[in-house]
Amino acid sequence: MKKLVVFTVLMSLMLTAFEWNSKSTDKGVDFKEVSFEQALKLASESEKYVFMDAYASWCGPCKMMDRNTFSKSEVGEAFNEHFVSIKVDMEKGEGPTLARKYHVRAYPTTFILNSKGEVQKRIVGYRGPEEMLKELAEFIK
């Protein structure tokens, strides 16, 4: 019985370590956990655009984009090279202010912004990986 308990604990630890390791090496979009103003500053310093995912926690298509689009390595490679990417919950924190400023009326809405916060492109609704890359082709050169 003691061996079974030890075996179970070791297997749990190994599976947890494997799961943590696989998440840390994910090649999807690297969303920065920074404020909107910090994202603009990072974009200015790195000469990139800001990609802003305006979402709501209850939004099914937003969750689908996280799962099906933003997690894909080909999307991550393109985004991470050309954008400072942020996710903003439009119902929390600075989200409501940004929702008013950028006239967000549906979810998901994604934006390409220059480092001054000016809209370069607005995309409303779900996009799969290929569709998203096509939408943003002019910014991913």
* Of 117, 119, 135, the residue nearest 127 (C-alpha): 135
Residue 59 known to be catalytic: yes
Q: Which of 29, 52, 54, 59 is catalytic?
A: 59
Q: Which of 62, 90, 132, 136 is catalytic?
A: 62
Residue 62 known to be catalytic: yes
What are the residues facing 109 on neighbouring strands? 54, 124
Catalytic residues: 59, 62
